[in-house]
Amino acid sequence: MLLDSLPFSVLPPFFCFNAIGRVFALILCYRKRMKLLFLFASTLLATTSPAITEWREGTRLPTAVPHAVAAEMDGKLYVMSGKVGQGLRNFFEQYDLQNDGWRPLTPLPVNISQYAIAAGTGRVFVTGGRENNTARLSADFWIYAPDTAVWLELGSLPSARADHASYFDGNRLFIFGGIGRDAAVVQSFSPTTGKWSNWKNRMPVPVSAAAFARSGDELIFAGGIDERGRSVRAVQAFHLEKGTWRQLPALPLAASGGALAVIDGSLHFAGGFSPAKSQVLESHNKLVGQRWQRQGALPGGGRHRMAYFGNDSGFVLIGGAIGGGFYALFTASDRVSIFTP
């Protein structure tokens, strides 16, 4: 049985109530005496919050994955994981965003994980990663053609990196951050020339395990783990044409492995892992002006390292882990959670 089916939510400390307003009780202990207080839920408390109803469940993954990445192309989400539950085998399937269904694809022919994925112009790009058998960083560069179901290796990255982010803007494949010698260097690949380029302006706060999303001409990165191994609150934006960086309002809490989306022009950050709290987060926050505002919590409790995708139609979270640190591998989720504004 999946661990994420267990009730991990914590009841409020002073009362508890259900959605239909039943009678509830709270036992308070003071020193050696015990007082039993019976409280009654009001009609107001029985009302379901509109924010919570914005989340619904989609068709579950065919198998649970504790760490997954995804890229969208033509209404389909290509979801990959080099770590599937305790089996440590490759997972690669296509999720139909419109019809909420899954279709298996040809797995990546190498045993790596912590790679990055991007998609566009009929191709799926997979870069870097870490070898599962040796834990060495990889400089692998693979392309998948959905029309032929064939993987092709395209040489190597300029240097090995893992746990990074990648994005294809229609002309160039960008890679950002991660773990590796050149983690601070922004690099891009031209499919036309077959050459890599280094961009002048480095990532201000080089991070791995960051959440990212495109907003206009910018790619925005939220949270992540810095070069000292600390989770950060930083939110930083890279202009895809100018190559410049700017800072946005920091996250409410330092976190890594979360999910980021731009919905109706606003940034949404969900989930992640907080070392400060030693907790996998179930929070969902929206950037309004210069402040992050709390939204309805994730259904089923906290998750991190999930695959995700967002646009003006909504936010999709897929898989991930419900336990932190060492326990992440053994607490894989198969949930597909869909947020609709």
Question: For position 316, what pLDDT does the model report?
Answer: 98
pLDDT of residue 61: 95
What pLDDT is recorded for position 49? 40
Residue 332 DSSP symbol: B
Q: What is the secondary structure of 71-107 as a DSSP string?
A: EEETTEEEEEEEE-TTT---EEEEEETTTTEEEE-PP
From the list 47, 89, 44, the residue with the least C-alpha distance to 64 is 89
For residue 31, the model assigns a pLDDT of 36
Delineate the domains of the chain, giving CATH numbers in brackets: 1-47 (no CATH), 48-339 (2.120.10.80)
pLDDT at 50: 46
How wide is the angle at C-alpha 206 spanned by C-alphas 203 and 210, nearest 5°? 105
Comparing CA positions, the residue from 254, 251, 189, 250 lying closest to residue 226 is 254
> Which residues does 46 contact at the CB level (< 8 Å), separation at least 6?
17, 18, 19, 20, 21
pLDDT digits (tens, 9 = 90+) for 187-201: 999 999 999 999 999
Which residues of the chain are under the pLDDT cut of 50?
1-52, 84-88
Q: What pLDDT was estimated at residue 33? A: 37
Give the gyration radius of the chain's Cα atoms: 21
pLDDT digits (tens, 9 = 90+) for 90-141: 899 999 999 999 999 999 999 999 999 999 999 999 999 999 889 999 999 9
Give the three-state DSSP class for 331: coil
Give the C-alpha separation, 84 to 265, whole Å.
34
Residue 2's pLDDT is 37
